């Protein structure tokens, strides 16, 4: 096995917002909540060096009484690559691999923060980064 020519720095949590919606109401028979997920990727590529800062932000639900809580998390890392990689390969790595890696660091943060709420922990599912304009919902158990 050979090391990848695409490397990353230690991912850093740059933003976290968590709000429990105290006005959230649900039918006592309803055991699940549908939570919409939105996300964004920011790529700041260096003009001089083979590196870029990639930020991945995920927003779950909204600050309304329709959802038990709202959470927004941003992780960021510096990605570096070998000059041997083509521009096309680098673009794919920055747009697909980098946010997928950062999501792996966001998942435990979301699970831990939401486990301290009055609701069950939320586990973010896999996300297909090949679909650019996606709308996604996850379901969580509410006790």
Confidence class of residue 9 from pLDDT cuts 50, 70 and 90? very high
What share of residues in the chain are helix, strand, coil (percent, to 5)?
A: 20, 40, 40
Whether 5 and 82 have beta carbons less than 8 Å apart is answered as yes
- Tell me what the pLDDT averaged over the chain comes to: 87
- Say if residue 127's pLDDT is above 60: yes
Whether 5 and 69 have beta carbons less than 8 Å apart is answered as no
pLDDT in tens, 76-89: 999 999 888 888 98
Q: Can you tell me the distance from the alpha carbon of 42 to that of 95, in angstroms, rounded to the nearest whole number?
A: 9
Q: Can you tell me the distance from the alpha carbon of 121 to that of 8, in angstroms, rounded to the nearest whole number?
A: 29
Per-residue pLDDT at 29 = 55
Whether 122 and 114 have beta carbons less than 8 Å apart is answered as yes
By the 10 Å C-beta count (0-12 exposed, 13-18 middle, 19+ buried), 79 is classed as buried
Report percent pLDDT > 70 for the chain: 87
Model pTM score: 0.87
pLDDT in tens, 11-68: 999 999 999 998 887 665 565 678 899 999 999 999 999 999 999 999 999 998 888 8
Per-residue pLDDT at 40 = 92
């Amino acid at each position: 096995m050979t090391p990848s020519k695409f490397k990353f720095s230690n991912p850093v949590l740059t933003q976290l917002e968590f709000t429990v919606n105290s006005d959230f109401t649900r039918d006592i028979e309803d055991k699940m909540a549908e939570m919409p997920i939105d996300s964004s990727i920011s790529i700041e590529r260096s003009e001089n060096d083979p590196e870029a800062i990639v930020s991945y932000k995920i927003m779950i639900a909204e600050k309304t009484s329709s959802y038990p809580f709202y959470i927004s998390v941003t992780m960021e890392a510096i990605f570096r690559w070998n000059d041997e990689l083509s521009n096309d390969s680098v673009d794919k790595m920055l747009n697909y691999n980098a946010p997928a890696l950062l999501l792996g660091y966001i998942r435990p943060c979301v699970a831990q923060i939401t486990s301290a709420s009055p609701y069950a922990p939320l586990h973010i599912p896999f996300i297909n980064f090949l679909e650019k304009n996606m709308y996604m919902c996850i379901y969580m158990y509410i006790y």
